[in-house]
Structure 1
Amino acid sequence: MPVLFALTMFVGATLLFVVQPMFARMALPLLGGSPAVWNTAVLFYQAALLAGYGYAHLTTRWLGVRRQAALHAALLLLPLLVLPIGVPEGWRPPAEETPVWWFLGLLAVAVGLPFFVVATTSPLLQAWVVRTRHRMAADPYPLYAASNVGSIVALLAYPTFVEPTLSLAAQSQVWAAGYVVLALLTFGCAWVVWRSNGDRRLAEALGRPAVPLSVARRARWVLLAFAPSSLMLSVTTYLSTNIAPIPLLWTLPLALYLLTFVLTFSGEVFPHAGMVRALPIVLLLLTVVLAAQATAPLELLMPLHLLVFFVAAMVCHGELARDRPPPEQLTEFYLWLSVGGVLGGLFNAIVAPLLFTTVVEYPLVLVLVCLLLPASDRRPAADEEQAPAPPEEDAHPAGRPSLVAGRWLDVALPLGLGLLTAGLVLAGQRVGRGGGPA
């Protein structure tokens, strides 16, 4: 059973992240490839994802498994009426107005229904697992990692295999065939849950006492989801406008964003405390670079920006993974994560361009990430494990060297890293100036 559910979620996530670059290629001749177009598309996809998660949450709470399965079976058939995906006839962007709202309308008409239905797959199937007798019902969250693996595979396969091999018309036909496969797999999952007496299992789960979700906890989920979402778009915009306008550059931050979900929700592959402690160090390096307004050398600056984004996303998503609620509250958890993602896209695509003339949202969100750092992980674990010395021992000179050394490191380490970064930036700028024509 876990294989069937994981495969279905993998196929659903693959479809979600193939249709995004595929439709972007379809709309590219109409709009161009500016960062604003990409940010608008991300906002739409995050809003559609929120709608899908909301559907999964509400139908899970209000309907039994049989009624929910019947409703979802009917919903799965609706996109067949609008497939294959393409730009409708007669759609042309306005010549004198900003195309943001026009592009959102185009996305809603051409992609909205299929994307919404596929977006329901991950939270809905995890909620169905909770209704089974399988041992994974106690912790279905690792399936979320399987979903994000599918997203990464699709994201990397599109520019390397799909786009060079297939025409846009063929891509759309293959995507429609993949959707039919997803529908059949979802029907199979529904049948498994139906046989597992899912309504009784869910009633038992909902009947168990659960810790009430406070407003503060929900708000923290939203902020922890908002920060990486906004930061992903900020990094993409900053690199495209200030460093180098590289084609398909947006795939790198998005792939790292998805990878952090895989790493944090499938277990602590990288120790979370280590990521928390690494964040101030890499942020210090980036702060010096931003203050110097350095744009070269590319081979040093681009990896630094992506590294900081990766560590920040690992910290935020790691906090979410550590604070995930019991399985019976799973769909609400994903709903609030989706709210944070939508707010991040809304902030970068709509609000920031109206308020700022440069990419000010980038350092602002980095500050927010620092504010979201867990208080218990601000200091090294050694400080937590060592009990305070008694007064008579604390007064002894032999007990002070480690304390004095720790204080010196608090100053020397950031200062040394800052000087190293400043030196690298100045050297890079000098090399860049010296590499021009004599």
Structure 2
Amino acid sequence: VGQVGWLILVLGLMLGLPFVGLASLSPALQGWFIDTRHPQRNNPFFLYAASNAGSVTGLLMYPALIEPTMGLQKQAFVWTILYGILVVLLIVCIMFRRPADGHQTDNKLHRDSEVGPGIRRKARWVVLAAVPSGLLLAVTQHIGTDVASVPLLWVVPLTLYLGTFIVAFHRAPTQVSTLLGVVAIVAAVVAAASLLSISTSVGGLAFRTLLHLLAFTVVTLALHIALSAARPSAEHLTSYYMWISVGGFIGGISVALVAPVVFDAVYEYPVLLALAAFLIGTAIRPEPLRRPATLGLVATVTLLAVNGLAFTWIPRWVSLALAGAFAVAILLHLHPVFGRMAAAVMIGLTTVSLMAPHVLQERTFFGVLRVTETASERVLAHGTTTHGTQRLDPVQRHVPTTYCSVDSGIGQLLSQRASPIRVAVVGLGTGTLAAYGHPEDTIDFFEIDGAVAAIATDPVRFSYVHDSAASVSVTTIDGRLGLQQSETLYDLIVLDAFSSDAIPVHLLTREAFQTYQTRLTPGGTIAVHVTNRFFDLAPVVGRIAESMGLRAGVAETTRSRWVGVVNPTSDLGPIGVRAAAWDLVTPKGRMWTDDYANLLGALRTGS
């Protein structure tokens, strides 16, 4: 809660006024449009579709064009210029706004006679806006946490979300068609059923990602069409957009702030799917599908999809029963009760999924942490990224594993160093590096997630820290800030925070490395863990090292990839004690600084 509150406060102070100003533009412009002589003045809602089209354009332009070519200061300058142009355009719009006196009087009389929307109608606007907004965050978190941790994947569902607004509002209002309603509810049920598969290999990661994105798209489209159909006359558009904003805020807050406190995983996703099915079931146009072939096809696809995606640890007959019941509901009759039935089925599935076995599962500000066990080891994972393992065999418990094994780059550096040494580690994981400690060594871990620190220091979960012969400390703080505040000089600084898709860029800038250098002894080494499925970070580190007059080399095994950075005059040789195992890094691209970073440019080609 403290981290969330701090983030909201900072964003509010920095972006609050500009955000409110920009957010109010669409309703204001449409209100002005009503007072013009344009033939479409009584139906200004198409401008809302245009507004969302602009949002999509900006969303796609930023990571693809703006971020790779401009630093933050230049972005701020350009944004200021564009904001000034916007003000000029608004003045022009105000000039065109003034209608003839007779038209203005007619509009005023019409507004005075118009009865405003009631509380129930406003509540419906709020709910129809809240559920898609919550689904946007929930599906993004689910895909990123439980399916495929892919860089910039969040752009896709957000683009689809805005796209459904464009489709729903670009034309005259209409109710949700029967076909779209059926497809949306079927998609919601299939997506919910797929959540219960404990094997992420079912259909492959790409298939599962596509499944959830498609389900999210059709469900959100149906809800936004229902929202568009419920819109009032143009005279009440300001109230309409205000309540839509309230709904979007409620949906976002519920998923971002409330759900992490209530749930230990992304369980709000199937709950929101259930609510969506309920709403769609009540919004479908009363026009049943009359073609038996269509009904049979929908029922068959539903049966096969739910059965094929169902989990493996619950009896197969349960999956068949759920799919069969749903197919029968379609075959009997399409009715609002159908949506409620689908909602009940999905809530039931979610309840069952809550009983899935795991050693430990905890949700924090930074995501979902899971501790699981295999026959031979215990594993700590953040989403789909493994952050460390420990063997269960008492004889093998103290052996470093995964990215920090003895044959890895960091294993070479630590196992060949003479004691006593002082080591700083940014990123704790399971505390594997503590296994290299000797009685006179000092190892200081800096970990930003307090839950990770609690798990790694609990000897019942992982005992590397507890059993280490060295003097080990764990401080819950951002690694860069921790080193900046430290007064200790270290022989080795280890950066181990870059294995997932969410790269903490502020740890990989020239200014950050200058901070690290001030905390190194004259012959000290910086070791950077750059094992990553998507990003090639070695050239980034190499470019920074080159700019600082340092030397960088990479040691790569089948399981890990480490970059070492040393002073060229150090007696460690080109890059460490086993020089033959290290290859000099070839710097590439523009240097990352606190003002500029290009994640898209660091993506692995072909990844």
Q: TM-score range by the shorter chain?
A: 0.5 to 0.7
The amino acid across from 1:355 in the alignment is V
Verify: 1:200 aligned to 2:88, yes or no: no
1:254 aligns with 158
Q: Is the 8 A contact 1:132 1:201 kept in 2?
A: no
1:291 aligns with 196
Query: Taking structure 1 as reference, are residues 195 and 332 closer, same or farther at Cα in structure 2, changes over 3 Å only?
Result: same
Match runs of 1:357-368 below 5 Å:
357-368=264-275
Match runs of 1:35-54 below 5 Å:
none
Distance (whole Å) between structure 1 residues aligned to residue 294 and residue 64 of structure 2: 49
Verify: 1:98 aligned to 2:36, yes or no: no
Query: Taking structure 1 as reference, are residues 382 and 234 closer, same or farther at Cα in structure 2, changes over 3 Å only?
Result: closer
Distance (whole Å) between structure 1 residues aligned to residue 268 and residue 283 of structure 2: 27
Q: Is the 8 A contact 2:185 2:219 kept in 1?
A: no
The structure 1 residue matched to 2:131, chosen from 218, 227, 235, is: 227
1:418 aligns with 306
Query: Taking structure 1 as reference, are residues 271 and 153 closer, same or farther at Cα in structure 2, changes over 3 Å only?
Result: farther
Query: Taking structure 1 as reference, are residues 351 and 423 closer, same or farther at Cα in structure 2, changes over 3 Å only?
Result: closer
Q: As a proportion of its length, which structure holds more helix?
A: 1
Distance (whole Å) between structure 2 residues aligned to residue 406 and residue 154 of structure 1: 40
The amino acid across from 1:333 in the alignment is Y
TM-score w.r.t. length of structure 1: 0.65
Residue 422 of structure 1: how far off its partner (Å): 4.7
Please list the CA deviations of residues 122-163 of structure 1 after superposition, one character each: whole Å capped at 9, or x if unmatched: 000101111222212110010111101100000001111011
The amino acid across from 1:189 in the alignment is C
1:3 aligns with none
How many percent identity over aligned positions?
Answer: 35
1:190 aligns with 94
Match runs of 1:33-432 below 5 Å:
98-194=2-98, 196-197=100-101, 199-207=104-112, 209-267=113-171, 272-273=176-177, 274-296=179-201, 297-375=204-282, 377=284, 381-383=288-290, 412-422=300-310
Please list the CA deviations of residues 18-73 of structure 1 after superposition, one character each: whole Å capped at 9, or x if unmatched: xxxxxxxxxxxxxxxxxxxxxxxxxxxxxxxxxxxxxxxxxxxxxxxxxxxxxxxx
TM-score w.r.t. length of structure 2: 0.48
Query: Taking structure 1 as reference, are residues 291 and 313 closer, same or farther at Cα in structure 2, changes over 3 Å only?
Result: same
Q: Which has the higher contact order (CA 8 A, sep 6+)?
A: 1
Residue 252 of structure 1: how far off its partner (Å): 1.1
Distance (whole Å) between structure 2 residues aligned to residue 366 and residue 351 of structure 1: 17
SS in structure 2 of the partner of residue 291 of structure 1: coil
2:522 aligns with none
Point out where structure 2 has 5 or more consecutive residues left out of the alignment: 313-557, 559-607
The amino acid across from 1:165 in the alignment is T
Please list the CA deviations of residues 96-120 of structure 1 after superposition, one character each: whole Å capped at 9, or x if unmatched: x732111111111111111211211
Query: Taking structure 1 as reference, are residues 340 and 164 closer, same or farther at Cα in structure 2, changes over 3 Å only?
Result: same
Query: Taking structure 1 as reference, are residues 415 and 195 closer, same or farther at Cα in structure 2, changes over 3 Å only?
Result: closer
The amino acid across from 1:109 in the alignment is L
Residue 349 of structure 1: how far off its partner (Å): 1.4
* Equivalent pairs, count: 310
Residue 411 of structure 1: how far off its partner (Å): 5.6
Q: As a proportion of its length, which structure holds more strand?
A: 2
Q: Is the 8 A contact 1:263 1:269 kept in 2?
A: no
Q: Is the 8 A contact 2:55 2:162 kept in 1?
A: yes
Residue 258 of structure 1: how far off its partner (Å): 0.4
Please list the CA deviations of residues 202-223 of structure 1 after superposition, one character each: whole Å capped at 9, or x if unmatched: 413313x435412211111110
SS in structure 2 of the partner of residue 372 of structure 1: helix
Q: Is the 8 A contact 1:230 1:348 kept in 2?
A: yes
Query: Taking structure 1 as reference, are residues 286 and 187 closer, same or farther at Cα in structure 2, changes over 3 Å only?
Result: same
Distance (whole Å) between structure 1 residues aligned to residue 150 and residue 234 of structure 2: 42
Distance (whole Å) between structure 2 residues aligned to residue 149 and residue 241 of structure 1: 28
The amino acid across from 1:313 in the alignment is T
Distance (whole Å) between structure 2 residues aligned to residue 252 and residue 377 of structure 1: 27
Residue 282 of structure 1: how far off its partner (Å): 1.6
Query: Taking structure 1 as reference, are residues 163 and 269 closer, same or farther at Cα in structure 2, changes over 3 Å only?
Result: farther
Query: Taking structure 1 as reference, are residues 270 and 239 closer, same or farther at Cα in structure 2, changes over 3 Å only?
Result: farther
Structure showing greater Rg: 2
2:393 aligns with none
Query: Taking structure 1 as reference, are residues 376 and 157 closer, same or farther at Cα in structure 2, changes over 3 Å only?
Result: closer
Point out where structure 1 has 5 or more consecutive residues left out of the alignment: 1-96, 384-401, 425-436
SS in structure 2 of the partner of residue 239 of structure 1: helix
Query: Taking structure 1 as reference, are residues 135 and 407 closer, same or farther at Cα in structure 2, changes over 3 Å only?
Result: closer
Query: Taking structure 1 as reference, are residues 366 and 146 closer, same or farther at Cα in structure 2, changes over 3 Å only?
Result: same
